[in-house]
Amino acid sequence: MNRFLGTGAVLVLVAGVSTGGCRDEHYYGPYRLEVPTALLERAAGQTFRLPLGDADLRQLDELDACIEEQQQPDPPPRETPCICDHPVLTVDELQLRVDYQVTNNEQNRANVLVWVGVEAPPDEPDPDVIEDLPRVEILGEHHHTLAAGETLGASFLEEEMTEIDLVFATSRHGACEQAPGALPAPRELLLGFALESEQLVRLALELTVRVRLTD
């Protein structure tokens, strides 16, 4: 069962000028998460699916067709997986930034983990790193200590998100022969936070994602 929230609508949209090979720039959010949840879970996550343009969707169709062909009784030989030839989005094309604010709504100090990750592959065991969200594979993390009533703002900057994409690409698609920047980037991310203090403390997280795609 998918324990994550849906992607949600684009609540804030800012289109940039397309220059220097940049397709456009969009801001998605804000998305709001709270812990503990209604089920008293200490972690909450948000699924974010990367926007795809017409060319990306055509590559996705080609990828699906290649995979379907390889599932036939007598498939044509291939040296690398289909996604190597049809990456849809590559690391070099994708420039992300995740801005967030986390608020302590209690009169006690709180330790909190804010993370970016992906869902573990279905054929692999649970990473089981985050309590209540065992399928999350963490790719990037920030740890904060909040005073009573404190609101803290921070970001996963573009350089950090590129490193996160590279970690994903090299671990999931190491069989591909292209350079790291040309490897397939994640098309779906999990964003969230978790209470690390033993005592239950009411916390809120607001996230905004900036997406810039380059040709």
Q: How does pLDDT run across 162-206, given as a tens digit for each residue?
A: 999 999 999 999 999 999 999 999 999 999 999 998 889 999 999
Alpha-carbon radius of gyration of the chain: 19
Q: Identify the burial level of 91 via C-beta atoms within 10 angstroms of its C-beta, where 0-12 means exposed, 13-18 middle and 19 or more buried.
A: buried
Distance CA 211, CA 133 (A): 25
Tokens linked to 47:
């699924």
For 135-144, the pLDDT digits (tens) are 999 999 999 9
In order of their start, the domains of the chain are: 22-52+91-214 (2.60.120.680), 53-88 (no CATH)
List CB contacts of 190: < 8 A, sequence separation 6 or more.
4, 45, 46, 47, 48, 115, 116, 117, 118, 119, 136
Structure tokens at 79: 């040296």
Position 23 scores a pLDDT of 60
71-123: per-residue pLDDT in tens? Answer: 998 888 888 999 999 999 999 999 999 999 999 999 999 999 999 999 999 88
pLDDT more than 90, % of the chain: 74
Q: Which helix (H) or strand (E) holds 115?
A: strand 110-119
pLDDT at 16 exceeding the cut of 80:
no
